């Protein structure tokens, strides 16, 4: 698979750091971020690389030359004038006839591309977007998907929004050559608005959700954060080819106020310090994963659609405070019968309802989690029992316990 890197950006917001340096050449541990990208591609067996340059072309080509020094083959496309995030692909229209990878040149990442490629083929996707939550969804374009992770809406940051799932495009894409049918002239073209948003209408775009490390270097503050994450080992450690650590969180009574059976989004109220606790998890290298029993489905008190709306409210409230969840697993079952509107198909004895550890095993399988190095935090004994049954360490939050809040509990771990 060829990789195409869009490396022609000006990096205006990083001018205080980059000076005249092109943004893809900004150093992390003495190496340009572009070299970090190339090393990750090589680790994944991707060695045929095309770099599209504009601003700072001479610095990039002089440093990398033909790529042989780094064990790869590099060729260049030089934009004589800015062509946006996709206009330069016109030069590849007649030379790429197979699946290819397209990357933004100003992001730091460590990703298992083999895993993403396999998923792309499995879904028979034309365009696969690497998506993840971030700490600033309120100023990011959001990707809306259906239950099969097919993208159904592209919500730009200037569009009005209420509640949402925190899912953003990270700047990594796998494409089939079909996308070149949307590039018919050499002109400035925006990838998101000019190609992807149109493809969404054809139902051929999918979101590959992953908690692996991908961050842009768009501001001095984000650049500083990436440097810290690199030196602490977080960047490398979150590659899904390596064992992950997670802090599993109960929802009601742990993150948000417990009110009994919560069935409406407007009933969600974050507990004091909950967002700060999850934000600390986000910065620690642990995954923040919710595991929650939701018998309201089996009881007929709440539909899956309504449960989804509750989740969107929760993610928006967390996102407003710079926190995000890497994943949420829920159990819809409830074995006791006799409720007026109950859904009989969910009135079963299952393996996912806490205190059984089924949801933890689902997360382990999906994210390659080492449960022995992970924690479960909840406000009920069933949370503790589920954690211990899965081989995790488990901590209880209650008024009689030394940990009276999620924040205190998380800080004790970290």
Q: Where are the chain's structural domains? A: 2-225, 243-413
Given this model, what pLDDT does residue 402 score?
65
Looking at 45-92, which runs of residues are DSSP E strands?
48-53, 73-78
- Is the separation of the CB atoms in 269 and 312 below 8 Å? no
What's residue 403's pLDDT? 76
CATH architecture of 2-225: Alpha-Beta Complex (3.90)
Question: Coil, strand, or helix at residue 81?
Answer: coil
Q: Give the pLDDT score at 12.
A: 64
Give the whole-angstrom CA distance, residue 259 versus residue 268. Answer: 9
Tell me, rounded to whole angstroms, the distance of Cα 262 from its chain centroid: 27
Q: Which of 92, 5, 111 is nearest to 49 (CA)?
A: 5
- Decide if 139 is catalytic: no
Query: 1-14 pLDDT, tens per residue?
Result: 999 999 976 666 66
CB 278 within 8 A of CB 327: no
Q: What is the largest CA-CA distance in the chain?
A: 74
**218-224: long-range contacts, CB 8 A cutoff, minimum separation 24:** 218/13, 218/14, 218/106, 219/13, 219/14, 220/13, 220/14, 220/16, 220/17, 223/14, 223/17, 223/26
Does the predicted TM-score (pTM) go above 0.75? Answer: yes
Q: What is the pLDDT of residue 408?
A: 93
Q: Which of 106, 250, 379, 383 is catalytic?
A: 250
Per-position b or e across 335-364, b if 16+ CB within 10 A of its CB: eeeeeeebeeebbeeeebbbebbbbbbbbb
CA distance 199 to 194: 9
Q: How far is 387 from 374, CA to CA, in rounded Å?
A: 9
- Which pLDDT does position 245 carry in this prediction? 98
Position 335 scores a pLDDT of: 93
What the block records as the tokens of 382 is 């069933």
Residue 36: how many other CB atoms lie within 10 Å: 21
Q: Is 106 assigned a catalytic role?
A: no
At residue 347, the 3 state secondary structure works out as: coil
CA triple 15-21-22, angle to 5 deg: 95
Which regions of the chain are under pLDDT 70? 9-19, 399-402
> Residue 143: what are its φ and ψ, rounded to 5°?
-105, 120
Under a CB-based contact definition with an 8 Å cutoff, are residues 149 and 207 in contact?
yes
Look up residue 150 and give its two tokens. 């097919």
Tell me, what's the pLDDT at 10?
64
Residue tagged active-site, from 110, 216, 229, 252: 252
Q: Which of 152, 191, 157, 153 is nearest to 171 (CA)?
A: 191
Cβ atoms of 124 and 202 within 8 Å: the answer is no
Q: Would you tell me which CATH number, out of the four given (3.40.30.120, 3.40.50.300, 3.40.50.1000, 3.40.50.970), belongs to the domain 243-413? A: 3.40.50.1000
């Amino acid at each position: 698979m060829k990789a195409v890197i869009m490396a022609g950006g000006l990096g205006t917001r990083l001018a205080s750091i980059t000076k005249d340096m092109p943004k893809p050449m900004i150093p992390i541990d003495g190496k340009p971020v572009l070299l970090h990208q190339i090393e990750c591609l090589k680790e994944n067996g991707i060695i045929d690389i095309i770099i599209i340059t504009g601003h700072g072309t001479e610095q990039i080509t002089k440093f990398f030359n033909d790529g042989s020094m780094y064990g790869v083959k590099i060729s260049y496309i030089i934009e004589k004038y800015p062509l946006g995030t996709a206009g330069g692909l016109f030069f590849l229209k007649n030379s790429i006839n197979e699946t290819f990878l397209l990357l933004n040149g100003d992001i730091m990442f460590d990703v298992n591309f083999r895993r993403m490629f396999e998923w792309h083929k499995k879904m028979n996707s034309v365009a696969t977007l690497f998506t993840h939550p971030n700490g600033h969804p309120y100023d990011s374009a959001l990707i809306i998907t259906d239950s099969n992770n097919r993208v159904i809406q592209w919500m730009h940051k200037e569009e009005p929004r209420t509640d949402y799932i925190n899912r953003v495009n990270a700047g990594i894409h796998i494409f089939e050559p079909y996308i070149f049918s949307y590039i018919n002239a050499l002109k400035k073209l925006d990838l998101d608005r000019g190609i992807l948003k149109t493809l969404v209408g054809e139902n051929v775009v999918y979101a590959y959700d992953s908690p692996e490390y991908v961050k842009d270097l768009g501001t001095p503050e984000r650049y500083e954060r990436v440097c810290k994450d690199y030196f602490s080992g977080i960047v490398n450690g979150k590659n899904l080819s390596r064992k992950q650590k997670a802090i599993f969180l109960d929802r009601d009574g742990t993150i948000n106020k417990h009110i009994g059976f919560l069935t409406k989004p407007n009933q969600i109220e974050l507990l004091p310090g909950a967002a700060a606790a999850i934000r600390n998890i986000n910065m620690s290298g642990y995954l923040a994963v919710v595991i929650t029993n939701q018998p309201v489905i089996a009881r007929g008190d709440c539909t899956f659609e309504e449960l989804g709306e509750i989740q969107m409210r929760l993610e928006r409230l967390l996102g407003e405070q710079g926190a995000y969840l890497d994943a949420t697993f829920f159990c819809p079952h409830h074995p006791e019968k006799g409720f007026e509107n109950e859904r009989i198909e969910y009135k079963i004895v299952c393996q996912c309802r806490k205190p059984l550890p089924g949801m933890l095993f689902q997360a382990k399988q999906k994210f390659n989690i080492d449960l022995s190095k992970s924690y479960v935090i909840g406000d009920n004994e069933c949370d503790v029992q589920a954690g211990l049954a899965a081989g995790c360490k488990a901590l209880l939050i209650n008024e009689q316990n030394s940990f009276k809040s999620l924040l205190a509990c998380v800080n004790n771990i970290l």
